[in-house]
Amino acid sequence: MIRGADIVVKSLIAENSEYIFGYPGGAIMPVYDALYDYSDQIKHVLTRHEQGAIHAAQGYARVSGKVGVVLVTSGPGATNLITGLADAQIDSTPLVCITGQVAAHLLGSDAFQETDVVGLSMPGTKWNIQVRKVEDIAPAIAKAFHIARTGRPGPVLVDITKNAQVEFGDFNYVPCLGVRSYRPYVTIDKKAILDAASLINEAKKPYLLFGQGVVLAKAEAELRAFLDKTGIPAACTLLGSGALPQDHPMYVGKLGMHGNYAPNLLTNQCDVLIAVGMRFDDRVTGDLKRYAKQAKVIHLELDPAEIDKNVKATVAIQGDCKDSLSQLTEAVKPSFHPEWMKRFRELENEEKKAVYANDLHGTHGGLHMGEVIRLINQFKEDDAILVTDVGQHQMIAWRYFDFKQTRTQVTSGGLGTMGFALPAALGAQLHDYNRQVICVVGDGGIQMTIQELGTIMQTKAPVKVVLLNNNYLGMVRQWQQLFFDKRYSFTELENPDFIKIAEAYSFKATKVTDRDELESAVAEMLLHKGPYFLEVVVEKEDNVFPMIATGCSVEEVRLS
C-alpha cells in the first residue's frame, strides 16, 4: 500500500517518462513530495510559469516523438495551461497534463484555488478526467497515455483531488492497450487505394501536398518512395517541414500565406491534388470557393473529422499514411512529369529574382531577417533544430532555414501562440543536449515568456536564442501598412536592454547592428558550448513576401 502521490510518480516512470515539466503548489504538494524520492528515475524541470511548462513539454514531444508530461497545481496553475492545451490540440502534440485539485469533499464550494479545470479544458483536450479516489489514479494515467499517443496525437488532462493523492492504495500498473469505442486506427480501404491510383496514373499535372501527418506517422521513407516512383512535385505545410529533405528532386517548396510562389499559384492549375497528412488549413487554402476547383482531390488522412471538412475529396483514404502511402505506391505506375515540373522551377526563379536577393543579402536598407537565417544555414549542423515563435521572424525563418531531417522544426502552427518558442526550445534541447537548438524569436513574443531564460540557466541547456529585433509587432505592423493605410496602432515597442537581461541569466550575449559584424557573431554563437543570446537589430519596416492576403485565392499570391 502506497500513497496516491507515489502512484502518480510510479505510473509516469512505468510509462518511461524521462522529464516532467512543472510548477509546484498546494493542491499538488503530495506529488511533489513523492518526487523527492524518485529523482534518480525521472527528472523534473522547474519552469518559471505554467505556460512555460506546457510549451516546454510540447517542444520535447515534437522533437522526441514521445509524450510530454506536465505537472501543476490547481486554480491558476491549471488555468495557465489552457493556451498550451489549445496549442497542442490543434497541432496534434501528445501531452499528459496532471493537475492538482482541492479535496473531493470541497468540490463545488469555491475553496481556495478551486477551478473546474475539466470543464475549462474540455474543448482544448483530446480527453480529460477528474480522479477522486486513489484506486482510479493508475488506470486514469494509463488511459491518458494511450489516448495521447495513439491515432491523431493530442493533449490529455488528468485532474487529481488532494485526498486521492494522500490516501493509500495498491499499485499495480497495467498499460492501457485499448479503450472501448475509441478506435484510433482503421483498415485501409483497398478500393479507395485503387481509385486513387487510377486518378494518379491518368494525371497530366499531379501535385502532392504533405503535412505533419507524415512526421507523426513516421512515414518519411514511404513519402520519398512514392515521389521517387511517380515523379510528382511535392510541397509542404508549415508543420510538414523536414518530412522531405529540401534537396529532394521532387520538392518544390512551401505552402501557405507566406509560402513559396509556385506551390501556391500552381495549386489552381493541377489536375489531381494529393493531400497527405494535412488538414487544408485556411492559411494553406485561402478562399475555399476558389481553391483547386479544377482538380480531382485525393486525401490521405487519419482523422475522419478532417476528411471533407474544408475541401471535398474525390477519393478519401482514411488511415495511417505510413500504411496508405505504402499501398498507394504499390498500386501506381512509374511516371515522370518534366514539363509540369519545369513550370514549378520557372516560377521558383521568378520568386528568387523578386524576393530572395534583398531578403538574403540585404541589397538595400539595414539588416534583414533573412540574412541571419542564411548565415545560420552556413554554420549549423544538418540535424540542427529550428524553434520559432510567431510573427514575421517565424515566416522568414521557415522560408529560408535549410531543413534536411525530420523533426527539426518546432513552431506554433494552428494557434499561433506568441511566447511559444523560448520554453519550447528548452524542451527540445533537453531531449538531446548534443544537438544544436536554434530559437528564433521576435522582440514581441520573447517578452511573453522571457522569464524562461531562468529555466534555461538552471538546466544549463545550451539553447541558442536569436532575437530579431525590429522594435515592432512586425506581422501586425505589416498588415497595418498594407491594409490599414500605415496607421500603426499600438504596434511599436519600446524595448528593454535585452543583452543585460540575458547576461543576468548567465547567457553569453552579443548585440549586432552592423552587417559586417553578423557573420562572425553567428559563427561564434553556433560554436559556443553553452546557452547564447544573439540580438540582431533588423530593418524596422521590413515585410515578408510572397503573401496571400486573407480572403484571396492562392493564385492571387503577391511577390511585393
For the segment 424-480, what is each residue's pLDDT rounded down to a tens digit?
999 999 999 999 999 999 999 999 999 999 999 999 999 999 999 999 999 999 999
In this structure, whether the domain defined by 361-537 belongs to CATH 3.40.50.970 is answered with yes
Identify the pLDDT of residue 365: 79
Of 175, 162, 133, 204, nearest to 74 by C-alpha is 162
Mean pLDDT over the full length of the chain = 97
CB burial string 46-78: b at 16+ within 10 A, e below = ebbbbbbbbbbbbbbbbbbbbbbbbbbbbbebb
Asked if residue 499 has pLDDT above 90, the reply is yes
Asked if residue 363 has pLDDT above 80, the reply is no
Domain boundaries, the chain: 2-169, 190-343, 361-537
Asked if residue 52 has pLDDT above 90, the reply is yes
C-alpha grid cell, residue 11: 505510473
pLDDT above 90 as % of the chain: 98
Calculate the CA dihedral of residues 37, 42, 46, 52 and round it to 10 degrees: -150
Identify the pLDDT of residue 362: 83
**For residue 229, what are the contacts with CB-CB under 8 A and spacing of at least 6?**
329, 332, 334, 335
Q: What integer is the mean pLDDT of 133-157?
A: 98
CA angle 394, 398, 399 (to 5 degrees): 120
Asked if residue 547 has pLDDT above 80, the reply is yes
Identify the pLDDT of residue 496: 98
**How many CA atoms are closer than 13 Å to the CA of 30, on its beta-carbon side?**
24
Assess whether the region 190-343 and the region 361-537 belong to the same CATH fold. yes
Asked if residue 498 has pLDDT above 80, the reply is yes
* Residue numbers annotated as active site: 50, 112-113, 162, 475
What is the rounded distance in angstroms from the CA atom of residue 386 to the CA atom of residue 114? Answer: 38
How crowded is residue 365: how many other Cβ atoms within 10 Å of its Cβ?
12
Asked if residue 48 has pLDDT above 90, the reply is yes
Q: What integer is the mean pLDDT of 156-173?
A: 97
How many residues make up the chain in this entry? 560
Asked if residue 364 has pLDDT above 90, the reply is no
Strand partners, 274: 208, 298
The CATH architecture to which 190-343 belongs is 3-Layer(aba) Sandwich (3.40)
Q: What integer is the mean pLDDT of 5-16?
A: 98
Q: Cα-flanking dihedrals φ and ψ of residue 176, to 5°?
A: -85, 125
Identify the pLDDT of residue 36: 97
Identify the pLDDT of residue 19: 98
Q: What is the pLDDT of residues 190-246, one digit of tens each?
A: 999 999 999 999 999 999 999 999 999 999 999 999 999 999 999 999 999 999 999
Q: What integer is the mean pLDDT of 85-112?
A: 97
The CATH architecture to which 2-169 belongs is 3-Layer(aba) Sandwich (3.40)
Of 492, 480, 487, 478, nearest to 560 by C-alpha is 478
Identify the pLDDT of residue 517: 96
Amino acid at 215: V
What distances in angstroms separate CA 355 from CA 165, 342, 479, one per listed residue?
Answer: 58, 20, 18
What is the rounded distance in angstroms from the CA atom of residue 424 to the CA atom of residue 435? Answer: 15
